[in-house]
C-alpha cells in the first residue's frame, strides 16, 4: 500500500532541517518560529544570468538531464523578489546576527542599495571579494574572476570573531625581518622602522582581509564536487560560519543548492536550516549530511536529528520488490522503480517506519544501483521510501 508523507527524520545527519520549497514561501513559515532567532544568514541566490541550470544524473542509458532552476527574471522582477527575501531575512536575524549576500557583477551593486535601505548604511560591514582562478579567459575585456559577498549586520551588537578564522603566521620571513627565539622558546621575527621595533611570532595569527584569494573555486574533479553547477567550496562557508557564529548558533541558507552551508555548519557544530525549491538539492543535502556521520538508527525525531520537509507527492509510482528472510532478520530487495510509467534507477532509497505523515528512516542508500537490498525493522510495519531522478517521492508499506 502506498503512503503519503510530508516529513522524514534521520537520527544522524547533523542538527538541522531542510525545506523543499521556494525561498519566499519558506520565509512565511520560518518567521512564525524563528523571528529574531537566527544568528547568521548566507544567501547564494540566482545571479540573474538569463540561463537555465541543469544537471546530469545517473550513468549510461539511464542517465537523465534534470533542470535545477531557471534564472530568467527581468531586472525589475528580480529586485522586487530579492527585496522580499532580504526584508524577511532582516526579521529573522537576532540582534547579534549578520547576513552575507553572495552575487557577482550583474546585480551586486543594485543589491547593495537594497541592503542599505533594509539594514541601514551604518550596518554595512564589508564588501568581500572572492577572487578565484577557473574557467575560460576573456579577450574582449578583463576576465571576470571574482564574486562579491556583501556582509551586513543587524545591529551594533553583532557577533564577529575574526580570531576564529586566523591562520598562524608560520616560519616564512617577511620584509627582511630578523629571526629570533625568546626566553620561552617561541620563534619570532622583528624589524626596526622609524625608531620603533615591530615583533611578530611564528604562532601569531594572520587574519583574512576583504579580498579572499586563498580559497580556490572547485575544479571539475574536486572530491567535494556533487555535480551541482553553482556549487561553492566548503572552505568559503567555513570561514563565514566560523567568524559570524558560535557553536550551537543557528545558520540559515535559503538557496541550499549543493548543501555546502549545511555541511560546513554541521562540521563546525552549528544548527542549520536549509531551503531550496529543487528536489535535486534535497537529494544532495541528504546525501552529504548522511555521509558526515555514521549510519542512522531508527528513532523518533531526536533533538539533533536531520529533518526534511516537503509537500505531498502523488506522482504515479510502481515498484518491483520482494521481502527476503534470513533467520530472524528481514530485508527488502528492490529490483525496479517506475515513476509515471517510466523505468529509471532511483536517486535514493530507504527503509524505516511511518508515524502519521512522518517517515523515520532506519537504513538508507543515497546512490542505489538496482537491485539493492535494505534491512527492514522488525517491530513495526516496514516502509520503503524511493526517490526518482526528478525528485518524485513514493512510500510503500511492506508486509
> How do residues 36-60 score in pLDDT, each as one tens digit?
999 999 999 999 999 999 998 877 7
Percent of the chain with pLDDT over 90: 73
Collapsing DSSP states into helix, strand and coil, what is residue 13? coil
Query: For strand 271-276 and strand 187-193, is the pairing parallel, antiparallel, or unpaired?
Result: unpaired
Which DSSP state fits 264?
H
| Mean pLDDT score across all residues of the chain | 92
Query: Radius of gyration over alpha carbons of the chain, in Å?
Result: 24
Cell matching residue 298: 531508527
**pLDDT, position 173:** 67
φ, ψ at 154 (rounded to 5°): -85, -35
CATH numbers and ranges of domains, the chain: 1-14+296-399 (2.60.40), 22-162+209-276 (3.40.50.150), 167-205 (no CATH)
pLDDT class for 290, splitting at 50, 70, 90? very high
pTM above 0.85, yes or no: yes
**Cell numbers placing 129:** 571579494
Residue 201: count other Cβ atoms within 10 Å of its Cβ. 16
Q: List the single range of 91-100, 224-233, 256-265 with lowest mean pLDDT.
A: 224-233
pLDDT at 302 over 80: no
C-alpha cell at 332: 527488502
pLDDT at 202 over 90: no
- Per-residue pLDDT tens over the stretch 347-357: 999 999 999 99
Q: What is the pLDDT of residues 233-275, one digit of tens each?
A: 999 999 999 999 999 999 999 999 999 999 999 999 999 999 9
Beta-carbon contacts of 48 under 8 Å, excluding residues fewer than 6 positions away, are 71, 73, 75, 78, 106, 107
Question: Is the pLDDT score of 295 beyond 80?
Answer: no
Q: What is the mean pLDDT of residues 141-164?
A: 96
- Lowest-confidence segment of 197-201, 290-294, 336-340 by average pLDDT: 290-294
Interatomic CA distance for residues 330 and 324, integer angstroms: 6
Percent of the chain's residues with pLDDT above 70: 95
Query: What's the Cα-to-Cα distance from 96 to each of 53, 136, 244, 265, 337, rounded to whole Å?
Result: 35, 41, 9, 18, 49
Maximum alpha-carbon separation in the chain: 85
- H helices present in 20-133, as ranges: 23-34, 75-92, 108-119
Amino acid at each position: 500500500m502506498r503512503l503519503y508523507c510530508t516529513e522524514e527524520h534521520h537520527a544522524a545527519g547533523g542538527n538541522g532541517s531542510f525545506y523543499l520549497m521556494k525561498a519566499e514561501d519558506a520565509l512565511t513559515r520560518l518567521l512564525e518560529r524563528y523571528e529574531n532567532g537566527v544568528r547568521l544568514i548566507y544567501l547564494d541566490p540566482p545571479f540573474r544570468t538569463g540561463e537555465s541550470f541543469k544537471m546530469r544524473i545517473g550513468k549510461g542509458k539511464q542517465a537523465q538531464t534534470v533542470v535545477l532552476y531557471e534564472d530568467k527574471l527581468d531586472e525589475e522582477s528580480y529586485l522586487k523578489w530579492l527585496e522580499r527575501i532580504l526584508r524577511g531575512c532582516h526579521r529573522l536575524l537576532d540582534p547579534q546576527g549578520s547576513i552575507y549576500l553572495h552575487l557577482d557583477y550583474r546585480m551586486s551593486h543594485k543589491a547593495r542599495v537594497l541592503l542599505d535601505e533594509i539594514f541601514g548604511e551604518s550596518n554595512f560591514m564589508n564588501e568581500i571579494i572572492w577572487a578565484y582562478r577557473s574557467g575560460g579567459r576573456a579577450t574582449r575585456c578583463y576576465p571576470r574572476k571574482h564574486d562579491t559577498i556583501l556582509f551586513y549586520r543587524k545591529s551594533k551588537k553583532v557577533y564577529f570573531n575574526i580570531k576564529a578564522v586566523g591562520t598562524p603566521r608560520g616560519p616564512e620571513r617577511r620584509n627582511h625581518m630578523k629571526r629570533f627565539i625568546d626566553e620561552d622558546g617561541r620563534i619570532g621575527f622583528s624589524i626596526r622602522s622609524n625608531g620603533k621595533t615591530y615583533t611578530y611570532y611564528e604562532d601569531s595569527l594572520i587574519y583574512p582581509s576583504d579580498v579572499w584569494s586563498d580559497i580556490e573555486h572547485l575544479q571539475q574533479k574536486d572530491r567535494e564536487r556533487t555535480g551541482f553547477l553553482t556549487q561553492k567550496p566548503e572552505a568559503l562557508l567555513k570561514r563565514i560560519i566560523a567568524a559570524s557564529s558560535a557553536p550551537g548558533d543557528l545558520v540559515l541558507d535559503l538557496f541550499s543548492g549543493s548543501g555546502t552551508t549545511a555541511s560546513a555548519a554541521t562540521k563546525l557544530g552549528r544548527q542549520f536550516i536549509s531551503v531550496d525549491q529543487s528536489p535535486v538539492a534535497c537529494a544532495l543535502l541528504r546525501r552529504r549530511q548522511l555521509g558526515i556521520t555514521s549510519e542512522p538508527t531508527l528513532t523518533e525525531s531526536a533533538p539533533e536529528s536531520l529533518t526534511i520537509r516537503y509537500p505531498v507527492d502523488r506522482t504515479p509510482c510502481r515498484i518491483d520488490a520482494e521481502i527476503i528472510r534470513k533467520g530472524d532478520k528481514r530485508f527488502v530487495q528492490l529490483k525496479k522503480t517506475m515513476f509515471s510509467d517510466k523505468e529509471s534507477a532511483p536517486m535514493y532509497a530507504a527503509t524505516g517506519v511511518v508515524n502519521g505523515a512522518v517517515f523515520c528512516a532506519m537504513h538508507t542508500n543515497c546512490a542505489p544501483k538496482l537491485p539493492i537490498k535494505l534491512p527492514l525493522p522488525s517491530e513495526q510495519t516496514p516502509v520503503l521510501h524511493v526517490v526518482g531522478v526528478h525528485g518524485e517521492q513514493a512510500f510503500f508499506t511492506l508486509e
